[in-house]
């Protein structure tokens, strides 16, 4: 499946914009601030029913407008028109003019992999940024995961609300256990899927990293979770006292993290800028490979300001990699038309260029 036409109304700075894309390499160029990243975000929105950057939909609406729509015409095995509208605090998604009963029914139709300069937070930011990467990888291909994640978040909110209301006072263990019971099944399944995901991507990730970096160091990803240390139910029961005092839930998959390393060293502390960037790109291409393995389809690859992110030599290696067969539709942005054209010239693929 590929996106053949994108139409935006009041989507961030795009009052009205219609773009055609080919099933190949699409370049979007233009000065800073014209809205190139916003277009890639709109494509991400079509697949995931939310912005990559901003979870608050009302802020996606163009200033002083009351609604936005994103429409995408997908071509391929199962052509479909997807329309997402947000107005009056309400989001609706239609496929071929028919509204989905629930938003999550739509997720999984299309997969997107987004590589943007903002991804630096994946390494330098906190554990939430890394969990978000894992969740986005799994939610796009596994509805049960998406459902479990939403169940878990709700149950966690309720448990934390109880702990908070009690302000550190004693809570009947049976009452607290009844809250635990809601967290446990979802938590165990999420843990299992996250573990499988990391195990699955490791080999491909390592190969891509070494390809990009030309360095000899071995990159590593460790899945760190309280649930690695024992049975979730027991862990929760054992921390009842601690949770009552802290007024929040101290164990669970909401504490998970990924530990990134190069050789024996933590990437965050010792990685050079180039190494960190290669690491992130390798992670994203591993995500791409994972989607492809699971769905047997090409995800849409969104490459935002790739030349700002990495030096030209690394960028050329990335382009050679994704330009080779095995990749489907690519949307790539750059401030310089000539630069992006030079780099893509040798690649034999469908190409389309837009200058905004
Ligand atoms: N809700 C919004 N309404 C209007 N403009 C917005 C909104 N959100 C972001 N923008 C504008 O979009 C522009 C940035 O677009 P962006 O896609 O990042 O540009 P580029 O990637 O081409 O540099 C900024 O000028 C910003 O103010
Ligand atoms: Mg941009």
Q: Could you tell me if the CB of 37 is within 6 A of ligand 1?
A: yes
Q: Among 38, 40, 308, 309, which residue has the most ligand 1 atoms within 8 Å of its CB, making it the best to mutate?
A: 38
Model pLDDT, residue 68? 98
- The neighbouring-strand residues paired with 75 are 2
**What is the pLDDT, as a whole number, of residue 309?**
67
Q: What is the mean pLDDT of residues 256-280?
A: 94
State yes or no: pLDDT of 130 exceeds 80: yes
Average pLDDT, the chain: 94
pLDDT value at 34 more than 80? yes
Q: For 45, phi and psi rounded to 5 degrees?
A: -60, -40
CATH of region 1-111+297-356, choose from 3.90.550.10, 3.40.710.10, 3.10.129.10, 3.40.50.300? 3.40.50.300
The b/e string for 123-151 (b: 16+ C-beta within 10 A; e otherwise) is: beeeeebbbebbbbbbbbbbeebbebbeb
Q: What's the pLDDT band for 15 if we cut at 50, 70, 90?
A: very high
Domain range annotation of the chain: 1-111+297-356, 120-295
- What percent of the chain clears pLDDT 70, i.e. is strictly above it? 99
Residues 6 or more apart in contact with residue 116 via CB below 8 angstroms: 37, 40, 52, 302, 304, 305, 309
306, 315 Cβ separation under 8 angstroms: yes
Query: Of 184, 220, 44, 205, which is closest to residue 116 (Cα–Cα)?
Result: 44
126 pLDDT more than 90: yes
Q: How far is the CA of 271 from the centre of ligand 2 (A)?
A: 25
Q: Measuring CA to CA, how many Å separate 271 from each of 141, 181, 260, 265?
A: 31, 41, 10, 8
CA of 159 to the centre of ligand 2 (A): 40
Contact indicator for 2, 80 with CB cutoff of 8 Å = no
Mean per-residue pLDDT, 105-118? 95
Residue 338 scores a pLDDT above 90: no
Ligand 1 atom showing the smallest separation from residue 13 Cα: 5
Q: Check pocket membership of 191 for ligand 1, CB cut-off 6 A.
A: no
30: phi > 0 → left, psi -120 to 50 → alpha, else beta; which? left
Mean pLDDT of 67-76: 97
CA distance 52 to 282: 19
Minimal-distance CA residue to ligand 1 atom 27: 13
**CB of 69 closer than 8 Å to CB of 9:** yes
Helices (H), 69-172: 121-124, 127-139, 143-165
Give ∠ CA 284-290-294 in degrees, rounded to 5.
Answer: 150
> Tell me: the pLDDT tens digits for 230-258?
999 999 999 999 999 999 999 999 999 99
Q: What is the average per-residue pLDDT within 189-198? A: 98
Q: Average pLDDT in the 42-66 region?
A: 97
Which-ligand-closest: CA of 36? Answer: 1
Q: What is the pLDDT of residue 77?
A: 85
First to last CA, the chain: 25
- Please tell me which residue, 319 or 196, carries the higher pLDDT value: 196
Name the CATH topology of 120-295.
Answer: Glutathione S-transferase Yfyf (Class Pi); Chain A, domain 2 (1.20.1050)
**Ligand 1 atom 5: the closest Cα is on which residue?**
13
- Pocket lining: 59 vs ligand 1, CB cutoff 6 Å: yes
325 pLDDT higher than 70: no
pLDDT of residue 337: 87
pLDDT tens-place string over residues 78-103: 899 999 999 999 999 999 999 999 99
Of the candidates 7, 13, 21, 111, the one whose C-alpha atom is nearest the C-alpha of residue 69 is 7
- How far away, in angstroms, is 268 Cα from ligand 1 center? 30
What pLDDT digit, counting tens, does each position of 284-321 carry? 999 999 999 999 999 999 999 988 767 778 888 888 88
Q: Is the CB of 31 under 6 A from ligand 1?
A: no
């Amino acid at each position: 499946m590929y996106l053949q036409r994108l139409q935006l109304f009041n989507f961030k700075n795009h009052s009205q914009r219609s773009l055609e894309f080919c099933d190949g390499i699409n370049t979007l160029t233009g000065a800073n601030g014209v809205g190139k990243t916003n277009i890639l975000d709109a494509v991400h929105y079509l697949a995931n029913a939310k912005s990559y950057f901003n979870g608050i939909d009302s802020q996606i609406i163009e200033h002083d407008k009351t609604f936005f729509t994103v429409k995408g015409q997908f071509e391929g095995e199962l052509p479909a028109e997807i329309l997402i509208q947000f107005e009056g605090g309400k989001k609706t998604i239609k496929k071929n003019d028919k509204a989905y009963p629930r938003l999550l029914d739509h997720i999984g139709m299309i997969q997107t992999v987004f590589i943007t300069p903002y991804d630096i937070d994946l390494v330098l930011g906190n554990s939430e940024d890394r969990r978000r990467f894992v969740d986005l990888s799994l939610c796009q291909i596994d509805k049960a995961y998406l459902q479990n994640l939403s169940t878990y978040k709700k149950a966690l909110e309720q448990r934390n609300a109880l702990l908070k209301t009690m302000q550190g006072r004693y809570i009947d263990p049976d009452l607290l256990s009844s809250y635990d019971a809601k967290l446990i099944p979802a938590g165990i399944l999420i843990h299992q899927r996250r573990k499988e995901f990391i195990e699955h991507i490791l080999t491909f990730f390592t190969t891509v990293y070494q390809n990009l970096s030309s360095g000899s160091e071995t990159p590593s990803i460790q899945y760190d979770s309280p649930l690695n240390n024992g049975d979730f139910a027991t862990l929760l029961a054992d921390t009842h006292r601690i949770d009552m005092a802290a007024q929040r839930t101290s164990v669970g998959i909401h504490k998970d993290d990924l530990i990134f390393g190069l050789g024996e060293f933590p990437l965050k502390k010792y990685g050079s800028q180039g190494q960190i960037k290669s690491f992130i790109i390798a992670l994203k291409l591993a995500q791409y490979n994972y989607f492809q393995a699971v769905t047997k389809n090409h995800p849409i690859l969104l490459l935002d300001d790739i030349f700002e992110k990495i030096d030209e030599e690394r960028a050329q290696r990335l382009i050679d990699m994704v330009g080779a067969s095995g990749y489907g539709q690519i949307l790539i942005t750059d401030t310089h038309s000539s630069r992006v054209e030079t780099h893509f010239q040798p690649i034999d693929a469908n190409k389309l260029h837009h200058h905004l």
